[in-house]
Structure 1
């Protein structure tokens, strides 16, 4: 195997590893976000855990975070939870940072 082939293989492995970490961090963020939103919705215990799983599942509908945002936004609106779009997106960003710290730690 030439050094070019070895280098290419190294880049492919790093890319696969980075994608796996991104997926894990996103799933972890969605669980944290689901638990946070469940609290705002007045859910506790098993109901909060089930809601967090629903948030994780919502992320599988389309690429990106919009599907998760839309689910929580709709649920907040249906229950009268006062949370601006900006606050929701900021919480999503903060929890992503937390999820990355947890994955790396």
Structure 2
């Protein structure tokens, strides 16, 4: 085995680990977003848990955050919560930081 092969394997391993961590951070962020929105909609604990799971699943519909933003905006508006896309995107940024903090602290 050459040094080049070792380096290539190390880069591939790091890439896979980074991709897995990015997926976990996004899933955790979406769960946190679901609880954030559930709190604004004044849902019960059980409803909030179910809603957070629905937000995690909503992210699998298409690449990027637009599907999550649309779901949150629609649900919050329907519940009579005064919000807009910029507030939701700000919450996404905040919850991304929190999700990263939680996951990096658990390793």
SS state at 1:29 partner: helix
Measured in 1, the distance between the counterparts of 2:76 and 2:90 equals: 16
Shift of 1:83: 1.2
Query: Gaps (5+ residues) in structure 1?
Result: none
Counterpart of 2:33 in structure 1 is 33
Counterpart of 1:88 in structure 2 is 88
TM-score of the superposition, structure 2-length normalised?
A: 0.95
| Number of aligned positions between the proteins | 105
Two-structure CA RMSD over aligned residues (Å)? 0.7
Deviation by residue 1:20-68 (Cα, 9 ceiling, x = unmatched): 0000000000000000000111102101100000000000101111111
Measured in 2, the distance between the counterparts of 1:41 and 1:52 equals: 12
Deviation by residue 1:54-101 (Cα, 9 ceiling, x = unmatched): 000000101111111110011012122101211110110010011001
Counterpart of 2:77 in structure 1 is 77
Query: Gaps (5+ residues) in structure 2?
Result: none
Structure 1 consecutive aligned stretches of length 4 or more whose deviation exceeds 6 Å: none
TM-score of the superposition, structure 1-length normalised?
A: 0.97
